[in-house]
Chains A and B, each alone.
Chain A
Amino acid sequence: MIYLDYAATTPVAPEALTAMLPYLSDAFANPASDHAPGRMARKAVEKARAQVAALIGATAEEIIWTSGATEANNLAIKGALEFRGLDNAHIVTSKTEHKCVLDTCRHLESLHGTRALSVTYLKPGSDGCVTAQQVMAALTPRTVLVSLMWVSNELGTINEVEKLSTMLRERGVLLHVDAVQAAGKLAIDLAATPIDLLSLSAHKIYGPKGIGALFVRKRPRARLAPQLHGGGHEQGMRSGTLAPHQCVGMGAAFALAATRLADDAMRIATLRDRLWMRLQALPRVHRNGSGLAAPHILNLSFEGVEGEALRAMLPGLAVSSGSACSSATAEPSYVLRALGRDDALANASLRFSLGRATTEAEIDLAAQQVIDAVLWLREISGEPGVADIPAPTDNAFDYPAPVWAQFLEAGSNSGEFAPGTPGVQTMRVENRASASWLALHLRLVDERIREARFTAFGCPVGIAVGHWLATQAVGKSAAELRALTATELCRALEIPDDKLHCALMGEDALKSIASL
């Protein structure tokens, strides 16, 4: 398995893990406890706080621990707005923010009030970037907060937050920056950059999951209403028992990132460029977000292939198709749609994100796997053939066994007949909702189907249906084929209910067979 999903999560660095372990065993005390073991835990937490601060040019007392970046983003936006009063307030953000920023903004908009809060969602340019100028133009006298990510988690593109921070400071508007993908990748110096609030995550930079932090500027002081109430931990801004092993792990990861930043960035950018160069061997590949980019992310859309089939073809490659947080829904990325990609192209996109352990050999192998998969799927949809593309062998997404078996064999009877072949009838049906299509090509001799082929664009189930029908058709009469129903197809291939539309597409193709 080649892991190219470092923007979703990273392994914990051995240095961080080693630092964490004592705080899981002997040094387990509650850092809020006022006894010797408690003070020892507190000391470790405070050292880690200073390590986190050091990477971003902040002071330790400006770091508020949270359970992760989602909580940090929630705290920054809701906390700032609640402190200033929601009535009549205005927020500027972008359509390509992380889901938790967008969901938080939408939640604030939905709160009922006589003078409701409003949010402007800026659309990035075709390069994937939001410019400082764009933000400034969206400000109104009511604007109290701008929330903009430093580096896009999907595209890797860099927004002009440094330039923006100075401009907003002059206007007296608070700036919150989601720096989850920027920390450890770009040099950040908050002593010189007047950002008011900045969110950090540990598990994106080789620290543990379940911990993050919010930078809250002291001078001038950014004021927040707390979102988690309780014992008054974290200067009253975030209650809850701290987990010293987590804090220490994040501190160690940030300290490590500080020493490695320049080397990591250069090496990883070189590998990223190598991957992009290799994949450009394929025609009709589009890079999403062409603007200035962080070193570790490459987001591509592949024309002429369906997204789910592409992912199924790459069982040995851990990559993301959109933000992991919304992968469960498997909807086309809203970020790519915001860039103007249509649903089909947005769906057929992969985000490669590279990390410290990524090697040149992995990059080359990954590129080859992607090229093979795209060419194979394009061939299934009738594009000029490419010889000897191996089919995938690992049913990583747990398709029903008959579906998977048919899918693997799909190359054997895909494609159209040579133009001018006598007695050929083609039935082509589409499914608008899933943006897929299936075509059966039947060659008839003496009222019987002598030879059958298919072409298809769709998920593995749709392709399996095409292959199975083409196999079944041989030797049958038109009437016999027309009698075959979607129910029988579902039974034969064990097609699950949520893929019923694939079976129906097959039935529709058979129904349209003309009388012979």
Chain B
Amino acid sequence: MNPLYGRERIIGYSLMALAVAMIVGPFLWIFMNSLKYQVAIYTGAWVFTPTFSNYMDVLFSRRSDFAHNVRNSLIVAGVSTTLVLVIGTLAAYSLHRFRWAAWISTGFLGWTLVFHTIPVMTLLGPWYVVFRQLGLYDTLTALIITHVTMNLPMTIWLMMSFLKDIPLELEEAAFVDGCRPLTAFWWITLRLAVPGLIAAGILAFIFSWKEFSIALNLTSRATATVPVAVARFAQQHEVQHAQMAAAAMIATVPAIILMFLGQRFVVRGLTLGAVK
């Protein structure tokens, strides 16, 4: 767009700096509080001696299960991301590459849109009943299955959009050279779709890591994930503010890491469909 000049540019930069400060500021403030003793939080001190005792307490004290919650979250997010990438990429490839009857492809994609739209809370009632019947209630397996399903629509749409950019001629050339459908997919298309896999993988991992309402209702103490544990810190009768701040910061870490590592991919994934 047409750039700003002179005084307008200075005002523009000031407003942008203000917006960035308003977004980043609260993170810095809670980080500062996570380094304070409870007393320093109560007095609202700006000058204090930083301490890591809150992080130590949250992660390693005997009264806290938080390290266990981190382990649960990493298992659920890791396994569900792997599964959704396999299932979602295969489905996206099938819909993109092969000729399906219109009622199947439209019906399938339409249902993913409907499922993505309806509140997950409405399905939690039936999930609760069925998982209890199957003996899967309060297991990481139930959480993995539901997280895979939750991330499936996004993964399929994202992979289809990336697959569209890969020229079909490459596979056709491979067929001439004697490739078969599966080998062409494995050795050619999948390799070229790696940026899409990274984008979908990062987003699926983050969405699973931060998912709250399913984890809240299908787990108990032993299987709770990080967001559920963080919420417990905030819901106690006597809120331990310092530990709550530390737990919230730990819950934020994967987002910060992936934001710096995969920014390009994340932006494309999040803004998908809006630009075209």
Interaction A to B = no
